[in-house]
Amino acid sequence: MHRSSTTLPYFGLAFFVLLAAKPVPGQAHTETAQTAHELRVFDSSLVDTSVSPCENFYQFSCNNWFKKNPLPPDQTSYGRFTELFELNRLHLKEILDASSKADQNRTANEQKIGDEYASCMDTAAINKLGLMPITPELDRINALRRADELPALLAHLHVLGVNAFFNFGANQDFSDANQVISFYSAGGIGLPERDYYFRTDAKSAEQRKQYVEHVRKMFVLAGESDTQAAKDADDVMAIETRLAKASLTVTEQRDPQNLNHPTDVAALSKNLTHFKLADYVEAAHAPVTGKANESEPKFMAEFNDLVASTPIDQIRTYLHWHLLHAFAGTSMPEAFETETWNFYAHILNGAEKQQERWKRCTSRVDREMGEALGQVYVAKYFPPEEKQQALDMTLAIEQAMSKDIDSLDWMSPATKEQAKGKLKTVMNKIGYPDKWRDYSTLKIVRGDALGNLERVRQFNFNRELAKIGKPVDKGEWIISPPTVDAYYEPQQNNVNFPAGYFQPPFFSGKEDDAANYGDMGSTIGHELTHGFDDEGRQFDKDGNLKDWWTKEDEAKFTQKAQCMVDQYNAIEAVPGVHLNGKLTLGENLADLGGLWLAWLAWQDKAQAAHVDMNAKTDGYTPEQRFWIAYAQQWCTQTRPEQLRSQAQGDPHSPDEYRSNSVLQDLPEFAKSFNCKAGDKMVSAKACRVW
């Protein structure tokens, strides 16, 4: 994605690259005061002319936006993406308010999204029910007496979205991208990623103590005594630390070769000597035979040993925690949700206030039934002509990339031919699916918030497992149409741009090409470039994990990419915490390469249209408007706690550097603003791959 990466919950790994920011667990948003017509792709009123564009272009382009948009207390960060996210959420609220009203003329989908929203909003009913809706699952865990009973129980919990021990699901075969196979991958931890358990600095040590205290408080809310809850929290931490130690780091996970360990269900079952896999797959109603991928063999081996060496009462405790953790949102009494928000949003990321209930519930329905809600959204807010404009821009940037490949001096003719072949086969998915998801088998009951969530998760789990052994559906989307985001899927070689993103302040049919190409054009280029970054280049045009580069080309690419690793390693996001240039490499390559492709495509279009490059609009030439529009998409206020979390585990660099560090590497930018060698916005050692 353009702003964050994620893996699909509950059903295995998803190897795709996303563009726009996703809220961290519990992160809040606030309603923007701006309306659609006030959001501009290029906005001269946001420019601070007291700052030299050659000294700090981010501040030059965004300072007045910062002045107009102080960071709200319910935000860990707030930027242009949040502005559009909030506007879209208002639109979704209007749809949900209308759908939640009892009306015999409601469609089946309107009934589902409306009743789910109404159930979520009924906090009085949720609080009154207390733990009763989840008690059957707590009792099921309490009944666990022997390790040989664990496989069936764990399968049941996985179906309900409880991320305990490992993840199981469906994904494309690395060696045959046309087929879907079983995937077993690492999971089972409650902190954001592996290294939270092992960093030795004082802040990380403090966060681990705060996490244990959070787990303790959740157990107390569930009815345990303080003494028992404290012991149980320590046991949870001990088990999770073992699991984390055996897991790959977030940087190691970026290399698909590290995750490609083909096996079959029978062979994996033989290796799991203390966990009867046959009982697990039977209880999960999953295929009992066939090809599988064991993405992290070291982790699965440790899980096997852990089952044998851990007392059964500690395993029950661990499962209790992950059950509470999995449901402690809008389905549980408010005390559970507030405590979860306090740790994940407030302590880890600095939010000062929880978002309003209607916002949390609107986002919940979008997560659960995004295409049912999105179908109504698209009809109201994404007319066919805008879809065509989006497609035209995408095709123009693909043409620019083809020319750019021809011009590369480091890539051999043989690899260029392969690269252009891959580019030609990219599938462009714009706005929304051609075929909408069928929710007819999903039952939503008004007033049953937790039961609805269980049924949604079971529906999604079963839908994923049904894919195993079948050809890949390349028309499927993995984010909803209203999402302010975009992604590239390397195993399907397609780019995906939802309807929710093609709006101001990122794209507008009322603004000129300079602004639209500088902003949305750079996003399109970003996603295309992901097909050829350090991850994407390992997949061929058909999506198979296959080395199609010559060794010499690979060496030259790696050498050029190292320039960017070093460049971003040197950036200190917050005192004492530097960016991880290797972790952020793919996104940094895509930011720089995507902007360059947008520039090339726009130059071609401007030349064909005989655009006067000396004429000024709002005080700026077309070239200057292009660069300012690019920078203004990144105007963002971010809390130090969030910056720290982002620097440690997010493959995206903070927004300031997605502006300045990228532009410092482009002589064309410097020329547009007459920046000279020695200016801060002119890199002494410019990096360039594409």
pLDDT at 29 over 70: no
Tokens coding 589: 């390559």
In this structure, what DSSP letter does residue 499 have?
Answer: G
Task: Give the span between the Cα atoms of 656 and 169, in whole angstroms.
Answer: 37
How much is the pLDDT for 104?
87
Specify whether 315 is located in the same domain as 410.
no
Domain membership flag for residue 10? no
* Domain total of the chain: 2
Task: Give the span between the Cα atoms of 77 and 420, in whole angstroms.
Answer: 39
Determine how many CB atoms are found less than 10 A away from the CB of residue 600: 23
pTM exceeding the 0.95 threshold for the entire prediction: no
Specify whether 407 is located in the same domain as 338.
no
Tokens coding 111: 């009934």
Specify whether 532 is located in the same domain as 642.
yes
Phi and psi at residue 636, to the nearest 5°: -150, 135
Specify whether 403 is located in the same domain as 487.
yes
> Nearest-CA neighbor of 447 among 135, 96, 160, 117?
117
| Share above pLDDT 70 across residues of the chain, in percent, rounded to a whole number | 95
Give residue 370's identity as a one-letter amino acid code. G
pLDDT at 8 over 50: no
Domain membership flag for residue 532? yes
552: which residues sit within 8 A by CB, 6+ positions away? Answer: 412
Q: Are 197 and 39 in contact (CB under 8 A)?
A: no
Specify whether 398 is located in the same domain as 336.
no
| Residue 609: alpha-carbon gap to chain centroid | 38
Tokens coding 357: 């209930």
Determine how many CB atoms are found less than 10 A away from the CB of residue 105: 5
Q: Which residues pair with 181 in a beta bridge?
A: 171
pLDDT digits (tens, 9 = 90+) for 569-584: 999 999 999 999 999 9
pLDDT digits (tens, 9 = 90+) for 374-423: 999 999 999 998 899 999 999 999 999 999 999 999 999 999 999 999 99
How much is the pLDDT for 2?
65
Determine how many CB atoms are found less than 10 A away from the CB of residue 413: 9
pLDDT digits (tens, 9 = 90+) for 299-337: 999 999 999 999 999 999 999 999 999 999 999 999 999
Task: Give the span between the Cα atoms of 479 and 431, in whole angstroms.
Answer: 11
138 half-sphere exposure, CB direction, 13 A CA radius: 13
Structural domain boundaries enclosing 289: 147-350
466: which residues sit within 8 A by CB, 6+ positions away? Answer: none
Last residue of a domain, one of 323, 350, 377: 350
Q: Please spell the DSSP secondary structure of 518-551, one letter per residue.
A: IIIIHHHHHHHHGGGSTTGGGB-TTS-B---S-H
**Residue for token pair 């088998």:** 441
Last residue of a domain, one of 329, 350, 371: 350
Specify whether 686 is located in the same domain as 589.
yes
How much is the pLDDT for 178?
96
Domain membership flag for residue 511? yes
Average pLDDT value over all residues in the chain: 93
Phi and psi at residue 349, to the nearest 5°: -130, 0
Domain membership flag for residue 5? no
Domain membership flag for residue 505? yes
How much is the pLDDT for 584?
97
Dihedral in degrees, nearest 10, Cα atoms 363, 367, 368, 373: 70
Task: Give the span between the Cα atoms of 406 and 415, in whole angstroms.
Answer: 11
pLDDT at 11 over 80: no
CATH number, residue 576:
3.40.390.10
| Share above pLDDT 90 across residues of the chain, in percent, rounded to a whole number | 92
| Residue 587: alpha-carbon gap to chain centroid | 12
Specify whether 332 is located in the same domain as 424.
no
> Nearest-CA neighbor of 400 among 515, 549, 528?
528
Tokens coding 181: 């196979």
Last residue of a domain, one of 304, 327, 350: 350
pLDDT digits (tens, 9 = 90+) for 674-689: 999 999 999 999 999 9
pLDDT at 36 over 80: no
pLDDT at 192 over 50: yes
Q: What is the CA radius of gyration of the chain?
A: 25
395: which residues sit within 8 A by CB, 6+ positions away? Answer: 428
Q: Average pLDDT in the 114-134 region?
A: 97
519: which residues sit within 8 A by CB, 6+ positions away? Answer: 41, 42, 505, 506, 507, 629, 630, 632, 633
Specify whether 199 is located in the same domain as 303.
yes
Domain membership flag for residue 243? yes
How much is the pLDDT for 26?
36
User: Which of the four pLDDT bands, split at 50, 70 and 90, describes residue 3?
Assistant: low
pLDDT digits (tens, 9 = 90+) for 588-614: 999 999 999 999 999 999 999 999 999
Domain membership flag for residue 39? no
Q: Are 630 and 668 in contact (CB under 8 A)?
A: no
Q: Please spell the DSSP secondary structure of 220-254, one letter per residue.
A: HHTT--HHHHHHHHHHHHHHHHHHHHTSPPTTGGG
152: which residues sit within 8 A by CB, 6+ positions away? Answer: 279, 280, 282, 283
Q: Roughly how many angstroms between the first and final C-alpha of the chain, as a whole number?
A: 19
How much is the pLDDT for 17?
42
Specify whether 301 is located in the same domain as 422.
no
CATH number, residue 339:
1.10.1380.10
Specify whether 193 is located in the same domain as 262.
yes
Domain membership flag for residue 356? no
In this structure, what DSSP letter does residue 649 have?
Answer: H
Specify whether 344 is located in the same domain as 399.
no
pLDDT digits (tens, 9 = 90+) for 409-464: 999 999 999 999 999 999 999 999 999 999 999 999 999 999 999 999 999 999 99
Specify whether 323 is located in the same domain as 420.
no
pLDDT digits (tens, 9 = 90+) for 341-379: 999 999 999 999 999 999 999 999 999 999 999 999 999
User: Which of the four pLDDT bands, split at 50, 70 and 90, describes residue 38?
Assistant: confident
Q: Average pLDDT in the 288-309 region?
A: 97
Phi and psi at residue 686, to the nearest 5°: -70, 135
